Amino acid sequence: MTRKWWKEAVAYQIYPRSFADSNGDGVGDLRGIREKLPYLKELGVNLLWLSPVYDSPNDDNGYDIRDYRKIMAEFGTMEDFDALLAEAHANGMKLIMDLVVNHTSDEHPWFQSSLRDPDGPCRDYYIWHKGRDGKEPNNWVSFFSGPAWNYYPERDEWALHLFSKKQMDLNWDNPALRREVYDMIDWWLAKGVDGFRMDVINLISKDGLADGSEALAGAIGLRGIEHYFYGPRLHEYLAEMRRESFGRYDAVTVGETAGLGMQMSKMLTAESRAELDMVFNFDALENPGKTRFDDYRYDLRYLKKYLLDWQQNYGDNCWMSLFFENHDNPRMVSKVNPDPAVRAPLAKLLATLQLTLKGTPFIYQGQELGLANVDFASINEINDVESRNLYQELCGKMPSEEAWKRILAGTRDHARAPMPWNAGPNGGFTAGTPWLRMADGWQTCNAADEMRDPDSVFHYYKKLIALRRENPALVYGAFRPVFLKTKRHADVFCYFRVLDGRKFYVECNLTAHQTPRPAPLSGAQAKRIGNYAEEAPVLRPYEANVYEVL
Ligand code: TEU
Ligand code: CA
């Protein structure tokens, strides 16, 4: 297995709008992030991923980009960005950007030119089509509810948008557009950024515009998805992009590729194919048959099944990412068990899995504090465009209380609530009014208090991150699961990580009930990190232990 800096890194995702506000306008910013670098250094993470910080009208909080070479005014200036990058590097941290190139804002000059100058150089930069009997060119629906098309009288044509009405899909079949994208990537790499997380990158190749099948639309009703979720030229574009940009740097790429499954993910990340380094696979985030908007309790025994498969079958030629949360998903602790009494042990159990398995861990801001979902009172407290549109759509089909229940289960705003830094007003996030309601319980669950408490979720993360960074066995070591066939141990997940004579043993109880403890290991054990103070003959709710086997 090839050694790479990004396999050894522990990554941390920052959602800049909600991380730290330096000037009291209620919106997080780049200076805020800079001020928190010592915190991140103490936690021990060494690869930062910033959700988009580019100029944007914020229809989808920065995932609708108006200018790829400019910083969003609310977040600061390019000087602030350069200073942040330099300071991150000086502190031994790499920094990657979010690359959103499936679509741009409708306010991007390319789109404005494409719209107003149908014979000009940008005429085919987007996916335009004549209507069908005065209606949309096909029956595709948007990820954010409603038809995936806008009509523009200026061209008497429709333009495709798989996401919001202001996020217009780019036409990757146009080589001039691709050149523009590669030049832009190059511009950032030349600045010194260390790579990119690539937004919905598997959607860039569309196989024509035929109607979508109702049967393939799936539980989330994404009619049309079979025409673009793994398009015919996807591999070609990714390989070309790598050749023309990343490949000439020591940069890392992580593709966001929801729904692709293992075989397609292998095709995208096999080293020999030189396309992407890693992908974010979302299959582990919901139990089978469930979607994010279903109100249910996630069963961690499914996670075991999923991880066993990927850890053993993804292969030595591919490298996986490990994550449970991001800015698009509710907090994992709340999904598994919202009981506040188990919040801390459960958060630590998830940390244990994420930091001792094979793959690069991506921690989402606040996860290291064990943050839980927000108790939003009504749709009026929700900012997210996806939730607001979906609420409207659902209210047409069911009573509004039921619609709200679904939104409350799945809204992306759970993860976007501002970071609680201390027990002061607004959790120290801002001196003004936060742009989105704070997470509940920040008076007791916040960075300052957890940094003072050696038993906190924060310190647990810190210890495990240090252990991982000091031990190549936890990065490159073979994964050896045990007790798989013993029925009475169906609720535990136990495995070894082994490399060059160094050996770690991890034991986890995946349930909220006590379960028999698998037979003790032979040989001396040392260096226990666990979420219960003392050892016991049984495994208690969500108990997790990490040993070095000597
Ligand atoms: O998300 C893409 C995606 O497919 C989903 O996770 C999405 O958030 C949606 O909820 C599906 O129902 C990426 C970004 O992470 C997200 O924040 C953006 O809104 C989206 O792309 C569009 O750029
Ligand atoms: Ca601010």
Which DSSP letter does residue 341 get?
A: G
**Which residue's C-alpha comes closest to atom 12 of ligand 1?**
143
Residue in the structure block whose two tokens are 């673009």: 228
Quick check: CB of 293 below 6 Å from ligand 1?
Answer: no
Q: What pLDDT, on the 0 to 100 scale, is given for residue 478?
A: 98
Closest CA to 324 of 293, 370, 278: 370
Half-sphere exposure of 85 (CA within 13 A, CB side): 18
**Chain-wide mean pLDDT for the chain?**
96
Ligand 1: does its nearest atom lie under 6 Å from the Cβ of 328? yes
Confidence at residue 519, expressed as pLDDT on a 0 to 100 scale: 82
Question: For 484-502, what is each residue's pLDDT tens digit?
Answer: 999 999 999 999 999 999 9
Closest atom of ligand 1 to CA, residue 292: 12
Q: Which ligand is nearest to the CA of 27?
A: 2
Ligand 1, atom nearest to 412 Cα: 10
> Helices then strands (H, E): number in the chain?
17, 22
- Contacts of 522-530 with CB under 8 Å at 24 or more apart are 523/549, 523/550, 524/549, 524/550, 525/549, 525/550, 526/550, 527/467, 529/352, 529/460, 529/463, 529/464, 529/467
pLDDT tens for residues 412-439? 999 999 999 999 999 999 999 999 999 8
Q: Write the residue with the smallest CA distance to atom 6 of ligand 1.
A: 328
Q: Which helix (H) or strand (E) holds 286?
A: none
Does pLDDT of 520 surpass 80?
A: no
**CA-nearest residue, atom 11 of ligand 1:** 143
User: pLDDT tens digit string along 54-69?
Assistant: 999 999 999 999 999 9
368 within ligand 1 shell (Cβ under 6 A)? no
pLDDT of residue 468 exceeding 70: yes
- Domains of the chain, start order: 9-100+178-377+415-462 (3.20.20.80), 378-410 (no CATH), 476-549 (2.60.40.1180)
Provide the pLDDT for residue 426. 96
Alpha carbon distance 374, 361 (integer Å): 24
Model confidence at 175, in pLDDT bands (50, 70, 90)? very high
Report the alpha-carbon distance of residue 232 to residue 253 in Å, rounded: 21
Does the C-beta of 386 come closer than 6 Å to ligand 1? yes
Residue scoring higher pLDDT (486 or 525): 486
The whole-angstrom separation of Cα 131 and Cα 408 is 37
- Confidence band for 340, pLDDT divided at 50, 70 and 90: very high
Q: Report the 3 state secondary structure along 78-111.
A: HHHHHHHHHHHHHCCCEEEEEECCCEEECCCHHH
Give the Cα-Cα-Cα angle 40, 354, 342 (nearest 5 degrees): 90
Whole-number Å distance, alpha carbon 18 to ligand 2 midpoint, is 10
Determine the average pLDDT of the residues in 25-36.
Answer: 98
Element (H, E) at 475: helix 472-476
Q: Is the C-beta atom of 286 inside 6 A of ligand 1?
A: no
Over 360-381, what HEC string results?
A: EEEEECCHHHCCCCCCCCCHHH
The arithmetic mean of pLDDT across residues 397-405, rounded, is: 98
- The two tokens of residue 30 are 């780049």
**Confidence (pLDDT) at 528:** 85
Instruction: Give residues with Cβ within 8 angstroms of 35, minimum separation 6.
Output: 20, 22
**pLDDT average, residue stretch 377-382:** 98
- Give the ligand 1 atom nearest the CA of 282: 6
Q: Say which residue, 519 or 111, is predicted with more confidence.
A: 111
pTM for this prediction: 0.98
In contact, 235 and 225? CB cutoff 8 Å: no
Split at pLDDT 50, 70, 90, the class of 313 is very high
- For the four alpha carbons of 165, 166, 169 and 174, in that order, the dihedral sign comes to positive
Distances (CA, A) of 31 to 23, 28, 366, 505: 9, 8, 19, 41
pLDDT band at 324 (very low <50, low <70, confident <90, very high): very high
* Contact call for residues 215 and 209 (beta carbons, < 8 A): no
CA of 520 from ligand 1 middle (Å) equals: 44
The predicted pLDDT at position 166 comes to 98
Tokens standing for residue 318 = 């591919």
**Which residue type, as a one-letter code, is found at position 70?**
K
Q: What pLDDT, on a 0 to 100 scale, did the predictor assign at position 523? A: 61
pLDDT surpassing 90 at residue 526: no
Rg, the chain, Cα only? 23
- So what's the ipTM on this one? 0.95
Q: Are 421 and 458 in contact (CB under 8 A)?
A: no
Q: Which residues pair with 478 in a beta bridge?
A: 498
Q: Count of CB atoms within 10 A of residue 513's CB? A: 10
pLDDT of the residue at 77: 98
Q: Would you say residue 446 has pLDDT above 90?
A: yes
Q: Whose CA is nearest to atom 5 of ligand 1?
A: 328
CB neighbour class for 425 (10 Å; exposed up to 12, middle 13-18, buried from 19):
exposed
Residue 163, ligand 1, Cβ within 6 A = yes
Q: Is the pLDDT of residue 211 over 90?
A: yes
Range 266-294 average pLDDT: 97
| Confidence category of residue 522, pLDDT binned at 50, 70, 90 | low
Cβ–ligand 1 distance for 200 under 6 Å, the answer yes
Catalytic residue numbers read 199, 256
Q: Which amino acid is at 43?
A: L
CB contact at 8 A, 37 and 88:
yes
Instruction: Give the Cα separation of 533 and 249 in Å (integer).
Output: 46
Residue of 50, 199, 394 to test ligand 1 pocket, by largest number of atoms within 8 Å of CB? 199
Nearest ligand, CA of residue 25?
2
